[in-house]
Amino acid sequence: MTQFKLTYFDFHGGRGEPARLALHIGGLAFEDFRFPFSDFPEVRKATPFGQVPTLHVDGVLVTQSDAITRYVGQLAGLYPADAYQALLCDEVMGALEDVNNKLVATFGLSGDALKEARQALAAGPLTVYLAWLQGQLQAHGGAFFADNRLTIADLKVFVFVQSLNAGRLDHIPTDLVEKVAPALNAHCQRIAATPAIAQYYAKFAR
């Protein structure tokens, strides 16, 4: 049996969460190594690019969040076999990486500079990407982003929308998704109600 160790911050969200969910949904045993933000300077020393998540596959270190999520998604049956449906899935994944990079660029800011940068993101790129994602969802049936079923694209959108709604990002309105792309909130609620996902989060609430 292949041994997996996923390393990421100790919170629900971010670039490591879709892979965690995919591993759980697929019933794939893995070491869920979580660490506090205070340990990141030390953890990053063991990574090629100073970034997480990382995945050890039988002891071999792998980087890049989308590559990790796509790999475990394939193992879990959450990635389309059809080339065109896989393209649609990857398109959503790539778009979310674009917007995540824009958000990460603000993480080193503080005070008025942070406020202005986040407000500009909310009014500009975030609104554009959320509206586009809603359009993609509706264009493909309204329930899922690709393959007419749950895929890693849905998981990544779910994690992203939850993060925006939870208010983890200062100066990003918590009602932004509802105002710009309410269909994404409905999608998020459906994904959260998926039995395997509900079970995953329930174990942390005990």
Convert the pLDDT of each residue in 67-84 to its tens digit: 999 999 999 999 999 999
- Rounded Cα–Cα distance for residues 114 and 66 (Å): 27
Q: What are phi and psi of 196, to 5 degrees?
A: -65, -35
> What is the CB-side half-sphere exposure of residue 68 using CA atoms within 13 A?
26
Q: What percent of the chain has pLDDT over 90?
A: 97
- Rounded Cα–Cα distance for residues 154 and 80 (Å): 12
So what's the pLDDT on residue 38? 98
Which amino acid, 120? A
pLDDT category of residue 206 using cuts at 50, 70 and 90: low
- Rounded Cα–Cα distance for residues 55 and 64 (Å): 9
> What is the CB-side half-sphere exposure of residue 104 using CA atoms within 13 A?
10
- Rounded Cα–Cα distance for residues 178 and 189 (Å): 12
pLDDT tens-digit series, residues 91-137: 999 999 999 999 999 999 999 999 999 999 999 999 999 999 999 99
Q: What domains are there in the chain, each with its CATH number? A: 4-77 (3.40.30.10), 83-193 (1.20.1050.10)
pTM value is 0.97
User: What is the C-alpha radius of gyration for the chain, rounded to an integer number of angstroms?
Assistant: 17
pLDDT tens-digit series, residues 24-83: 999 999 999 999 999 999 999 999 999 999 999 999 999 999 999 999 999 999 999 999
pLDDT at 10 over 90: yes
Angstrom CA distances, 157 to 39, 62, 117, 134, 151, stand at 27, 23, 22, 10, 10
Q: What percent of the chain has pLDDT over 70?
A: 100
CB-based contact 50:57 (threshold 8 Å): no
What single string gives the DSSP state of each residue in 43-109? HGGGSSSS-S-EEEETTEEE--HHHHHHHHHHHTT-S-SSHHHHHHHHHHHHHHHHHHHHHHTTTT-
CB-based contact 153:89 (threshold 8 Å): yes
So what's the pLDDT on residue 205? 80
So what's the pLDDT on residue 168? 87
What single string gives the DSSP state of each residue in 104-130? HTTTT--HHHHHHHHHHHHHTHHHHHH
Mean pLDDT (the chain) is: 97
